Structure 1
Amino acid sequence: MYDAAVVGAGFGGLAAAADLTSKGYNVVVFEASNELGGSAGQFERNGYRFQSGATVGMGFEPGGVLDSLFGRLGIEKPSMKSLDIIMDVHLPDRTIHYYRDRNEWYKEMARVFEGPGTAFENFYDEVFKVGRLVDQLTDKLPVFPPRTWGDYAHLLPLVNESSLRLLPYMTQTVEDRLKKHGLDQHRMFRTFLNGELMDSVQTSVENCPAFLGFAALQTFHKGAFAVHGGLAEAAGKLAAYIREHDGDVLMRHPVHSIEKGDAGFTLHSKRNSTFEARQVILNNSVHNLHDTLTEELSSQSYIRPQKETAKKAWGAFIIHGGVDADVFLDTDVLYHQFIDPDHPDDLHNGGQFLLSLSDLEDTRMAPEGKRSFTLSTHTDISPWWKAGHYEDEKRWMKEKLLRTVDHYFEGFTDQLDLVLPGTPVTFQKWLRRRDGKVGGYAPTGKYSWLTSYSVRTGIPDLYQCGDTVFPGAGTLGVTLSGLMAAKQAAKGLK
């Protein structure tokens, strides 16, 4: 019998498994596919390597979440390039260079945004202040939102003068804070923030709790990296650590069902194989929770299927492709965001989307003289499952995104070498995300964080992590939730 079983080899699951392994526990990780990293995994086609979803490396800066984890484990970080400009944000009348350095960003805001005095600086001063306070709390890996009296008890030591300063930001939205600074009617700044929040928190200023939005915005400025070979290189190092320390990472081993017995849990995998574990951590998204558990076990969870299905979640339309390197010779920036300012609230279906380019120095990502790229935009899920419209919708979206990039980088469409579009249907097929939902849940107001799911499932000794669990999406967020789940599982193993 294993001490712990982890279902899903995304960053959350691998972080949890590696952390438990480092404490001497016997751990097994089950991965349904043949690739590590989950939504930050990779695949190869025609000499190109593509990242499935997430592409920007976060948390690798000194003292960052992944830097600290790799340091504790004694693992060397993969080769990567630090980004002075996180991304270029393209609008029809201007390009915003989104600098990592705080002072450079303040200068850039003064250049591109016309507004009242120091309002933009004051707003970002608040972003950094609140972001630091959130970091101080999440570094302690609390169960949040608290589900048990024990969770509340563990939060009490964290209640001090600093944490109490967070309270106003837990009862307001980002838009409320914009009003405080006289910036709520500044259309261009609001459009910019909507783009960044949609990318990181899956929502817009009017729906985003202030403390979550500020924590996300400040994360961009702590450190952003292009990981050579793709983020899956980091996932591979975590998996190698687990194996080298007598743990198991089983690829192509989907877990079909989990049941509870007297001694622990029984996990059913392929060809009727079964595995026993004392503790279980699910990294296969809350969307899939009730598909994974037996009916008896599922009924014990506080997460109800009807309420889970009703929570707002996005799908993604994505294009993986290859292009001649000459198209981007005039820019050193690897990440580009395109926003339509005439429709600032239309943040999906191509109204806002990202272009990620492979680094020219990274020869594993593309043939010589070529670059691999990824285009991705949020999309409503339901239209993609309507029979008769699928191919037309996919063609229309593909042409819209490619045409927009060609407007800013002339010759892009003429020098395409490979184009592979993907939809929510694709994400369900290859990543087993139910209905193709990715990126976690979209906040819907200032108190929406209260309905977030914590690492607890409500079932003793069975935990969860990943983008559908607080603190949410991105490799940084899912890694934190994995460490939170591992902390709770370790308590049950002592």
Structure 2
Amino acid sequence: MTLEIIIIGGGIGGLTAGAFLAKDGHNVTLLEASNEWGGSAGKFSRGKFLFPVGATMGMGFEEGGIHHRIFQELNLSFPALALDEIMRVYHGRRVMPYYADRNRHLSECSSQFPEYASQIISFYKEAWKIGAEVRKLIKPLPVVPPVTFSEWKKLILSLKPGTPGLLPYLRKTVGDLLKKHGLDEAASFRHFIDGQLIDSMQTTSQDCSALMGALALDIYHEGAYYTEGGLYKIAETLQKYIEDNGGRTYKRKHVQTIRKENGRWVAVDQKGESWRADHVVCNLPIQGFVPLLPEPLQEQLPAKLVKRSKVAQWGAFTMYFALKETVIPPYTALFNQVLSDRSMTEGNHLFLSLSKANDTNRAPEGFRTLTVSTHTELHHWDTKEKYDQYKETLTEKMLLGIERVIPEVRDGIELQMTGAPRAWERFTKRPKGMVGGFPQTNEYSLFNSLSHRTGIDGLWLCGDSVFPGAGTIGVSTSGYHVYRSIVQK
């Protein structure tokens, strides 16, 4: 039976669901509110320069990784350059390479933090062991939290001999693991770990789920990648696949209402144009999804989903530069973190993504593009007066941080732009510019996360609000879960 399916939101999660549904011969219509595909992993151009909007480092392209599996199943290829040095971390006076090779990483940590070398090695060995078991468990892509009998069955069949060993960690945090290995007082190392977790888990060791945090620390060493042009190419590849397989994709279609008429779903955009379908897949933050439904439908949603839709997420403050090649020191890493104050927000933690030399997708010869981001609390931006003043303050603070990596950055600026939360809201249509999904704390992760099922027949969710969370790995998995549930595979 051929189904009519509307997908709202052209981020990577929605595009993944759409590509597989189109592959199976269903009639897919994808509606994207903005001018670009990819959502928070999209792009924009200014003159001769191209900038990734947000997500920049590629994960999951290794053999067996989610992107590798998706492209293989769709019979597509996607080039990605594996990184030996994942990133370089500027941490106080330290400059620390973060190596993909586990032994090199342990050796580097031991030399950087010699007074805690043995504890750090034992901490990582336990974290990696946990991470490896979690990876085995999630390899068949079970749904968490399971809702239906078939989801419970798939989860049970996913269990491995080592799975029971994960139970003692179920309510623990990464902070508990650090304490177990005598690292709770190792402030500098803990700060370093927090830098890795805030980017992947949206929280720090104190609150991060031990299982999810261990997975994050483990998966860095499974493979990190640079993609020519940027991760938006995943989105564009999937969008083309949908079109090539009979689907229809539209930009600048900002859906305002989702309702049900005569047993079918209806989506209406900002111009009053409407589409009808058997299923609606919403690749939206739940803060933007719930208000699209009329009140009687909202009342049918799970209480947990409605309650969580009122919770604010992080915002991002991002700076975009086109730089003259001459000011970039030789051998500068493509990805860098700058950690200053113990806080992981408001310019005290920066993530820098530099285009590769000769990546002419992003910049012409003699230039490179640089994207720099920090987490920010949205309350700093809630009035115009605060917004303008804080934007100026944070811009200068971030430039000082960037100078740790590129000391002469100000002399090489050909173009400089900022993306504060309101710009993120305009570009991605995410409410108030929220990005990154919910923090992977025990309160929000694993069995406490949200299902892709809304509790309403034919209405589905994917993206960073639902399991397994943020990042291209997470949203791709959620999109695949939706596809599999619709076609009952």
TM-score band, normalised by the shorter chain?
over 0.9
The count of residues paired between Structure 1 and Structure 2 equals 488
Q: CA–CA distance in 2 between the matches of 1:166 and 1:244?
A: 43
**Which position in structure 1 is the counterpart of 2:64?**
63
Q: 1:51-75 CA distances to partner (integer Å, 9 max, x unpaired)?
A: 1110011111222111111111111
**Which position in structure 2 is the counterpart of 1:9?**
10
| More displaced 10-residue stretch of structure 1: 403-412 or 467-476 | 403-412
**Which position in structure 2 is the counterpart of 1:317?**
317
Q: Is the 8 A contact 1:195 1:339 kept in 2?
A: yes
Instruction: Please give the secondary structure, in 1, of the residue aligned with 2:384.
Output: coil
Q: How far apart are residue 419 of structure 1 and its match? A: 1.1
Q: How far apart are residue 261 of structure 1 and its match? A: 3.0
**Which position in structure 2 is the counterpart of 1:125?**
125
Instruction: Please give the secondary structure, in 1, of the residue aligned with 2:284.
Output: coil
* Structure-1-length-normalised TM-score: 0.94
Q: Is 1:469 the counterpart of 2:470 in the alignment?
A: no
Query: Match of 2:487, as an amino acid?
Result: A
Q: Is 1:22 the counterpart of 2:23 in the alignment?
A: yes
Q: Is the 8 A contact 1:170 1:447 kept in 2?
A: no
Q: CA–CA distance in 1 between the matches of 2:397 and 2:320?
A: 15
Q: How far apart are residue 117 of structure 1 and its match? A: 5.0
**Which position in structure 1 is the counterpart of 2:271?**
271
Q: What does 1:436-475 align with in structure 2 at a 5 Å threshold?
A: 436-445=433-442, 449-475=446-472
Instruction: Please give the secondary structure, in 2, of the residue aligned with 1:388.
Output: helix
Q: What does 1:220-231 align with in structure 2 at a 5 Å threshold?
A: 220-231=220-231
Q: CA–CA distance in 1 between the matches of 2:460 and 2:119?
A: 43
Instruction: Please give the secondary structure, in 2, of the residue aligned with 1:373.
Output: strand
Q: CA–CA distance in 1 between the matches of 2:271 and 2:312?
A: 36
Q: How far apart are residue 387 of structure 1 and its match? A: 3.3
Q: Is the 8 A contact 1:209 1:447 kept in 2?
A: no
Q: 1:354-406 CA distances to partner (integer Å, 9 max, x unpaired)?
A: 11101112111012211111110000001201231211100110111012212
Q: CA–CA distance in 1 between the matches of 2:381 and 2:249?
A: 34
Q: What does 1:165-176 align with in structure 2 at a 5 Å threshold?
A: 165-176=165-176
Instruction: Please give the secondary structure, in 2, of the residue aligned with 1:55.
Output: coil
User: Equivalent pairs: percent with the same residue?
Assistant: 36
Instruction: Please give the secondary structure, in 2, of the residue aligned with 1:383.
Output: helix
State which of 428, 433, 443 in structure 2 corresponds to 1:431: 428
Q: CA–CA distance in 2 between the matches of 1:274 and 1:306?
A: 25
Q: What does 1:278-293 align with in structure 2 at a 5 Å threshold?
A: 278-293=278-293
Instruction: Please give the secondary structure, in 2, of the residue aligned with 1:200.
Output: helix
Q: How far apart are residue 304 of structure 1 and its match? A: 5.8
**Which position in structure 1 is the counterpart of 2:484?**
487
Q: Is the 8 A contact 1:385 1:425 kept in 2?
A: no
Q: CA–CA distance in 2 between the matches of 1:321 and 1:146?
A: 44
Q: CA–CA distance in 2 between the matches of 1:449 and 1:311?
A: 18
Q: How far apart are residue 295 of structure 1 and its match? A: 2.2
Q: 1:225-277 CA distances to partner (integer Å, 9 max, x unpaired)?
A: 11111111121111111111111111222222111233421111243222121
Q: Is the 8 A contact 1:303 1:457 kept in 2?
A: no
Q: How far apart are residue 309 of structure 1 and its match? A: 4.7
Q: 1:141-193 CA distances to partner (integer Å, 9 max, x unpaired)?
A: 22212334554344232344322222122110001111111112111110111
Q: CA RMSD in A?
A: 1.9
Instruction: Please give the secondary structure, in 1, of the residue aligned with 2:206.
Output: coil
Q: CA–CA distance in 2 between the matches of 1:238 and 1:317?
A: 28
Q: Is the 8 A contact 1:98 1:105 kept in 2?
A: yes
Q: CA–CA distance in 2 between the matches of 1:101 and 1:167?
A: 28
Q: Is the 8 A contact 2:451 2:466 kept in 1?
A: yes
Q: What does 1:379-398 align with in structure 2 at a 5 Å threshold?
A: 379-398=376-395
Query: Match of 2:347, as an amino acid?
Result: G
| Structure 2 CA distance for partners of 1:283 and 1:447, relative to 1, 3 Å | closer
Q: What does 1:227-246 align with in structure 2 at a 5 Å threshold?
A: 227-246=227-246
Q: How far apart are residue 132 of structure 1 and its match? A: 2.1
Query: Match of 2:9, as an amino acid?
Result: G
Q: Is the 8 A contact 1:323 1:370 kept in 2?
A: yes
Instruction: Please give the secondary structure, in 1, of the residue aligned with 2:385.
Output: coil
**Which position in structure 1 is the counterpart of 2:178?**
178
Q: Is 1:375 the counterpart of 2:372 in the alignment?
A: yes
Q: How far apart are residue 407 of structure 1 and its match? A: 3.8
* Structure-2-length-normalised TM-score: 0.95
Q: What does 1:324-339 align with in structure 2 at a 5 Å threshold?
A: 324-339=324-339
Q: Is the 8 A contact 2:339 2:350 kept in 1?
A: yes
Gaps of 5+ in 2: none
Gaps of 5+ in 1: none
Q: CA–CA distance in 2 between the matches of 1:74 and 1:306?
A: 38
**Which position in structure 1 is the counterpart of 2:358?**
361
Q: Structure 1 runs of 4+ off > 6 angstroms?
A: none
State which of 340, 343, 349 in structure 1 corresponds to 2:346: 349
Q: CA–CA distance in 2 between the matches of 1:324 and 1:240?
A: 34
Q: CA–CA distance in 2 between the matches of 1:42 and 1:335?
A: 18
**Which position in structure 2 is the counterpart of 1:72?**
73
**Which position in structure 2 is the counterpart of 1:136?**
136
Q: CA–CA distance in 2 between the matches of 1:69 and 1:306?
A: 31
